[in-house]
Structure 1
Amino acid sequence: MSLPAAFLAEVQRLIPADRLFDDPLSTLAFGTDASFYRLIPKLVVRVESEAEVVALLTLASRDQVSVTFRAAGTSLSGQALSDSVLIVLGDNWNGREIRDNGAQIRLQPGVIGAQANAVLVPFQRKIGPDPASINACKIGGIVANNASGMCCGTAQNTYHTLAGIRLVLADGSVLDTEDSASVSAFQTRHAPLLQQLAELGRKTRANSALAARIRHKYRLKNTTGLSLNALVDFDQPLDILSHLMVGSEGILGFISAVTYDTVPDHPHKASALLVFPDVEHCCRAVTVLKSQPVSAVELLDRRSLRSVQDKPGMPTWVKELSPTACALLIESRAASQSLLHEQLAQIMASIAHFPLEKQVDFSEDPVVYNQLWKIRKDTFPAVGAVRQTGTTVIIEDVTFPVEQLAEGVNRLLALFDTHGYDEAIIFGHALEGNLHFVFTQGFDTAEQVARYDAFMQDVAQLVAVEFGGSLKAEHGTGRNMAPFVELEWGYDAHQLMWEIKRLLDPKGILNPDVILSHDPQIHLKHLKPLPAADEIVDKCIECGFCEPVCPSKGLTLSPRQRIVIWRDIQARQRDGQNTRALREDFQYQGVDTCAATGLCAQRCPVGINTGDLVRKLRASAANHSTSATWLAGHFAGALQGARLTLRLADGARRLLGAPLLAKTSETLHKASGNRLPQWTPAMPQAAAPIQFHAPITDARPRVVYLAACVSRAMGPSFSDREQVPLIDKTQALLEKAGFQVVFPAEQDSLCCGQPFASKGYAEQADSKRQELIDALLKASRGGLDPIYCDTSPCTLRLLQDGLDSRLNLFDPVRFIREHLLDRLEIQPQATPVAVHVTCSTQHLGESQGLIDIVKRCTREVIIPEGIHCCGFAGDKGFTTPELNAHSLRSLKDAVQHCDEGVSTSRTCEIGLSHHAGIDYHGLVYLVDRVSRPRVL
């Protein structure tokens, strides 16, 4: 059924067209969240203000149109999907306000959880919830799902740390519990609603059996159903309403702001891994640890440990554990080191009588405890990485009473065997009796669906009925557990939830079939296909962890969405369907606007680099191989041509003036179908060719200077206050530090191959790379001298596929850090400097190194939040400037107090300078300015 015409017409008047999506590609892309369900919305609306939400809900209520809200879409139970109208958060939901020296923080729903914690670091505070997805999930989802996590337990979840909330109900009415005027107006206009909530509370508290059941359920970790504890914990209707919104998964209203009471973030911590001979001893130890000063206790069964034992970096002893082994990963935190040591001694004494098969003692060394936590964090992706193509990874989330944890674990293991889930593993937050179990499941046949249903029916009976536990501890009910809510809660509690739903959403327009559904089969419907697409991406579980670092997210597609679309295209083609229109749309949305820098791989649980898929697609469409070969063989001439083009552009600027040239260039760029580069005032002038000098024999150490082709072609822009070219500045700094600078012979002919690789010409790219390696071997005297590469993307390109072991190659950050700082006296400047950590610097592992160097050179360092990739992506800043503009849309505000920015890529600096309104330079400019030779 289509959406009502009157509703669509009003929405189109209300929301700009560029924030409305109803085309097949976009609706399919947004029809996926991290769960194993798929619903294709008829309309996706990106909202940028509360007023827009109010207006949309008013219209939806009038026309009885169902709506679903989505923040990050990392939810696992199908609660962020819609086959009607999907409302997604835009950029303008990122507000945060720190109060009372960090004791409270007010957040809008678009703030990523990790960002909230980052701004609280100076106060040694954090928000209570700490879900595993905290680097990707947003506050709106954290509140709406009452997310918890490894250290959160039940005491520090949103429900228990809620200080205030601003919400919008289904009828468009707004309540801000921290605004007295809002409260007064709401009490006046919604007096009957508040009276009914108060009455529901009184009736519930008076029903001793029901009240006792509610209190029991929330002594456990529990997100099954609505937060009925609000009715027994509070008697004031506004308090009841506020806390009912927590964990309501969008079925009661929209959360537009929340205020948290923050919790301590103790700076001192230590972790240990204790391996017990069996589940029984392991779980009995948990009951002892529950009263000890521990911040986290994670259980890993033998299957979990086996799933990661062959991964790189894993200790060899993991393979040698007995078949029945069961481990606890324990963490303790404290405000001081001395207190931490007291706690560690107390913890170990409390469980000293338990037999252990293996013990890794408490360590405060980050290398040690990060390795221990890597064992725990790699378990989920380990299952995802080995699953059969076409199947999905399901992670379920139950709670057993802690005193029955051992029996619960063993009964779950027995169910795995009964239903043939041999790959299933169990791990979880043992202190709360909260277990996650992960298994793979196909939904291609009726038999597969029936197997899944039978297994879940047995799980529900075991957990909810036999053990009185929770079927959802922290992942939310969604549509996954909606049919089982009554089984877990009983008839009276289930009817009470329906009564609350009808009271707050009388027309049933908010997220239907989530938490509460009249369809007992809803958990078996709208199951998401995961067809084979390409071995590069077939292991994708569509979790969305990649999205925060993607520069094109919000402009076109995110990595997750690229994979979703490509999977669908491949499946349609196999079915003989015509995919021409979808492929044409995907060319721009998925291929042309992908920066292909690979940051997504760093966030992906199974290590997928969606950029690799995009480069493969570009290669398949690359039909100018002869031209690429000619260019590779005549690279010095091409470089001269680039310099000439820049001179002509600068001549046009002198003739027409910068404003007119920029406008004319933009027009020509669009008219050419993006083939002509777009000129901006940050466009570089031509660089002069390198002046070669023969090496001399003296006492100075030699360094081979590999100047990237962009450095050889591009000088400073006409408007840059720094008019010394990068090559000259770098050479001067190296010589200041006492090095003799040597250049490879025939340098203008050399290239790392990156320009060819990015366009899909792998053969030519590899040829140029090898040619450069041979030249560097000669220039460095067979690897005797270190090699300094002035651009981090070129360094990464040379290192990625394995550099000749004789060569010692450095990017600017590492060379300055290891070879220059000890030779220079640094006098830090007072003015603040903005830092952009390029994608390549992140891949090289030098992010903190860059930041630390800049901190030595200036008293204030600004690192703009949320900008992980500038989107310039080699030459895309010229050919697809909207990608660069979108990625850096928040940069200018973030660096408005800076006079300069630093980076390690000349092309990135062009886009950064243009969009920041300040000049960005290579790191060497700053280091040179604040340094002088150290007297040795």
Structure 2
Amino acid sequence: MSVHAPLAGVLTDAEVLRAASTDRSGWAGSDPGGVVRPREVADIQTLLAWAHRTGTPVVARGAGTGLAAGAVGVAGAIVLDLSRLDRIVEVDVDEQLARVEPGVITADLDAAASAHGLMYAPDPGSVGISTIGGNIATNAGGLRGAKYGVTRDHVLALDVVLADGTLVRVGRDTIKGVTGYDLVGLFTGSEGTLGIIVGATLRLIPRPTRTATATAYFADIGTAARAVTAITRSGARPAVLEILDGPTLAAIDDLERTTLRERGEALLIIQTDGFGAEEELDVLTTAIASLASHVQTATDAAASESLLFARRRALPALEALGRTLIEDIAVPRRRMAEAIDRIAAIAREEGVRIFVFGHAGDGNLHPIIVTEHAPADAPVPAAALRAADRIFALALELGGTITAEHGVGRLKRGWAQRELGPDVHALQRRLKELFDPRGILNPGSSI
């Protein structure tokens, strides 16, 4: 069904509609009624006011790199593609902040900040292709989360078009401020269900002058998890703390002709930064010395990058093996070993291949279910779906969450209700109804 929005240039080409109905999760939704790619905020206000009057669904979309089907088309909807609002309006060196539009690529903002000796700290795995708006919508994390947190920790203010077309600004351009409720925090991570983010003021930080990196191999994943506890207790704070299990190392070996798994059944990648980077790394490697079977360190940029190689190649290596279902849970760090061991048991019992890597510094694990190569619109095997459900149940059992950084989207909506519980879920639904009384914003997603 086509939709005649009050804007010129509504795209209804079959290929464009089909592309807007999916994302990197592989979710195959319904073709929307149309796609619009505005260049001005006023056009978005006009569209939302019309959609509010007519009850037409609107789904905001960035680069389509989401992993939870949180920004995919639905029948009869307008997909609001924000990729053309891509200006870095200002990098304020003195205040150490940036003002940007939502379509800015995350890596481009970091590069612009770097020219002034600054850094945009959040670095999701899709940093080179994902947009700031999408990162804010999902509260994206990344490798540097162990020290610098997630996107929400770096958002100071937002410009938001509400469901009825009203443009509001929430937050402020100061580091501190507690006037009123924290609407910036509310919109961040709301997956386009409360309003459309059309601008953001983001915190920048001084770019570290020094980094130091270590790779540490272990005889098994349990020992690696105990090493994470030792690191947490050491008093030093890594900027990056990543974990990879033995099967993932083997997959990287197959793709890259490396010999990583010969060194151990689990790998930790540790990076420190700042003026005391080498000293902090010494503290961390000393803390795990009795547990690791092999440790390698580097302090220059090229050598450090080579040590990060395994983490960056993990997902491509698994994608080479077959179709991937990329999951995203978090558990208390002390329970990571139990989580990984039980995920391995789930894999055996369901007869599927599951590989685990993730951000050990904050307990965020990515169990990747790999099935046979198949077209994107082919049904996911039942055993894989059962395994995913069991992984979500395990996360909740261990006191964790079903999603740490990818969002709820459409894939995990039922599980989100289970995690929240009936009272909190009802409260969240009332908030949704307050901001979007006609239910037009990204229906069927998040909560």
Asked if these proteins are the same fold (TM beyond 0.5), I'd say yes
Residue 308, structure 1, aligned to residue 252, structure 2? yes
The equivalent of 2:183 in structure 1 is 241
Q: Is the 8 A contact 2:41 2:198 kept in 1?
A: yes
Q: Give the Cα separation in 2 of the matches to 1:111 and 1:2.
A: 29
Residue 359, structure 1, aligned to residue 295, structure 2? yes
Residue 346, structure 1, aligned to residue 290, structure 2? no
Aligned counterpart for 1:493 among listed residues 401, 424, 433: 424
The equivalent of 1:509 in structure 2 is 440
Residue 59, structure 1, aligned to residue 50, structure 2? yes
The equivalent of 1:161 in structure 2 is 154
Residue 28, structure 1, aligned to residue 21, structure 2? no
Residue 48, structure 1, aligned to residue 43, structure 2? no
Q: Is the 8 A contact 1:383 1:439 kept in 2?
A: no
Q: Give the Cα separation in 2 of the matches to 1:447 and 1:173.
A: 41
Residue 453, structure 1, aligned to residue 385, structure 2? yes
Q: Is the 8 A contact 1:71 1:89 kept in 2?
A: yes
Report SS of the residue matched to 2:145: coil
Residue 129, structure 1, aligned to residue 150, structure 2? no
Q: Residue 416 of structure 1: CA displacement? A: 1.3
Amino acid at match of 1:140: G
Q: Give the Cα separation in 2 of the matches to 1:365 and 1:128.
A: 20
State, as a whole percentage, how many aligned pairs show the same letter: 30
Q: Residue 402 of structure 1: CA displacement? A: 0.7
Per-residue CA distance 1:311-350 (angstroms, 9 max, x = gap): 3463x3x24245xx21101111113xxx222222222222
Where in structure 2 are the equivalents of 1:627-646 lying within 5 Å? none
Q: 1:399/1:416 Cα in 2 relative to 1: closer, same or farther (>3 Å)?
A: same
Q: Residue 255 of structure 1: CA displacement? A: 0.5
Report SS of the residue matched to 2:361: helix
Report SS of the residue matched to 2:99: strand
Where in structure 2 are the equivalents of 1:648-659 lying within 5 Å? none
The answer to which of 98-107 and 492-501 deviates more is 98-107
Q: 1:148/1:97 Cα in 2 relative to 1: closer, same or farther (>3 Å)?
A: same
Per-residue CA distance 1:772-831 (angstroms, 9 max, x = gap): xxxxxxxxxxxxxxxxxxxxxxxxxxxxxxxxxxxxxxxxxxxxxxxxxxxxxxxxxxxx
Q: Is the 8 A contact 1:131 1:149 kept in 2?
A: yes
Q: Residue 427 of structure 1: CA displacement? A: 0.5
Q: Give the Cα separation in 1 of the matches to 2:87 and 2:380.
A: 42
Amino acid at match of 1:308: I
Report SS of the residue matched to 1:311: helix
Per-residue CA distance 1:690-722 (angstroms, 9 max, x = gap): xxxxxxxxxxxxxxxxxxxxxxxxxxxxxxxxx
Amino acid at match of 2:7: I
Q: Give the Cα separation in 2 of the matches to 1:276 and 1:513.
A: 43
Aligned counterpart for 2:210 among listed residues 268, 277, 280: 268
Report SS of the residue matched to 1:453: helix
Amino acid at match of 1:283: A
The equivalent of 2:268 in structure 1 is 328
Q: Is the 8 A contact 2:332 2:398 kept in 1?
A: yes
Q: Is the 8 A contact 2:321 2:370 kept in 1?
A: no
Amino acid at match of 2:282: A
Q: Residue 513 of structure 1: CA displacement? A: 0.9
Q: Residue 90 of structure 1: CA displacement? A: 4.6
Q: Is the 8 A contact 2:120 2:203 kept in 1?
A: yes
Q: Give the Cα separation in 1 of the matches to 2:65 and 2:84.
A: 17
The equivalent of 2:338 in structure 1 is 407
Q: Give the Cα separation in 2 of the matches to 1:284 and 1:346.
A: 16
Q: Residue 492 of structure 1: CA displacement? A: 1.2
Q: Residue 98 of structure 1: CA displacement? A: 1.6
Residue 379, structure 1, aligned to residue 308, structure 2? no
Q: Residue 154 of structure 1: CA displacement? A: 7.8
Q: 1:91/1:461 Cα in 2 relative to 1: closer, same or farther (>3 Å)?
A: closer
Q: Is the 8 A contact 2:211 2:300 kept in 1?
A: no
Q: Give the Cα separation in 2 of the matches to 1:152 and 1:333.
A: 13
Q: Is the 8 A contact 1:393 1:441 kept in 2?
A: yes
| Larger gyration radius, structure 1 or structure 2 | 1
Q: Residue 441 of structure 1: CA displacement? A: 3.8
Q: Residue 366 of structure 1: CA displacement? A: 3.5
Normalized per residue, the structure richer in helix is 1
Amino acid at match of 2:305: N
Report SS of the residue matched to 2:37: strand
Q: Give the Cα separation in 1 of the matches to 2:85 and 2:405.
A: 28
Per-residue CA distance 1:216-257 (angstroms, 9 max, x = gap): xxxxxxxxxxxxxxxxxx9854x4322210001101100111
Q: Is the 8 A contact 2:38 2:44 kept in 1?
A: yes
The equivalent of 1:79 in structure 2 is 70
Q: Is the 8 A contact 2:217 2:293 kept in 1?
A: yes
| Unaligned 5+ runs, structure 2 | none
The equivalent of 1:282 in structure 2 is 224
Q: Residue 169 of structure 1: CA displacement? A: 0.7
Q: Residue 472 of structure 1: CA displacement? A: 0.6
Q: Give the Cα separation in 2 of the matches to 1:131 and 1:292.
A: 23
Q: Give the Cα separation in 2 of the matches to 1:274 and 1:179.
A: 42
Q: Is the 8 A contact 1:101 1:123 kept in 2?
A: no
Per-residue CA distance 1:446-504 (angstroms, 9 max, x = gap): 9954323322221222111x112011111111111111112112111111111111111
Q: 1:453/1:439 Cα in 2 relative to 1: closer, same or farther (>3 Å)?
A: closer
Q: Give the Cα separation in 1 of the matches to 2:348 and 2:47.
A: 49
Amino acid at match of 1:105: A
Q: Give the Cα separation in 1 of the matches to 2:238 and 2:370.
A: 33
Question: TM-score, normalized by length of structure 2?
Answer: 0.92
Amino acid at match of 1:410: D
The equivalent of 2:394 in structure 1 is 462
Q: Give the Cα separation in 2 of the matches to 1:270 and 1:446.
A: 44
Q: Is the 8 A contact 2:413 2:446 kept in 1?
A: yes
Report SS of the residue matched to 2:64: coil
Amino acid at match of 1:461: A
Q: Give the Cα separation in 2 of the matches to 1:352 and 1:401.
A: 23
Residue 419, structure 1, aligned to residue 350, structure 2? yes
Q: 1:504/1:441 Cα in 2 relative to 1: closer, same or farther (>3 Å)?
A: farther
Normalized per residue, the structure richer in strand is 2
Where in structure 2 are the equivalents of 1:754-765 lying within 5 Å? none
Aligned counterpart for 1:474 among listed residues 405, 409, 412: 405
Where in structure 2 are the equivalents of 1:542-581 lying within 5 Å? none
Q: Residue 371 of structure 1: CA displacement? A: 2.2
Residue 430, structure 1, aligned to residue 360, structure 2? yes
Q: Is the 8 A contact 2:210 2:274 kept in 1?
A: yes
The equivalent of 1:251 in structure 2 is 193
The equivalent of 2:27 in structure 1 is 37
Q: 1:452/1:55 Cα in 2 relative to 1: closer, same or farther (>3 Å)?
A: same
The answer to which of 395-404 and 30-39 deviates more is 30-39
Q: Give the Cα separation in 2 of the matches to 1:68 and 1:371.
A: 40
Q: Give the Cα separation in 1 of the matches to 2:349 and 2:378.
A: 19
The equivalent of 1:573 in structure 2 is none
Amino acid at match of 2:241: V
Aligned counterpart for 1:439 among listed residues 369, 377, 394: 369
Q: Is the 8 A contact 2:392 2:415 kept in 1?
A: yes
Q: Give the Cα separation in 1 of the matches to 2:226 and 2:400.
A: 18
Report SS of the residue matched to 1:101: coil
Q: Give the Cα separation in 1 of the matches to 2:106 and 2:72.
A: 21
Q: Give the Cα separation in 1 of the matches to 2:94 and 2:257.
A: 41
Where in structure 2 are the equivalents of 1:699-848 lying within 5 Å? none
Residue 15, structure 1, aligned to residue 2, structure 2? no
Q: Which has the bigger relative contact order, CA under 8 A and spacing at least 6?
A: 2
Q: Residue 61 of structure 1: CA displacement? A: 0.6
Question: TM-score, normalized by length of structure 1?
Answer: 0.45
Q: Give the Cα separation in 2 of the matches to 1:396 and 1:51.
A: 37
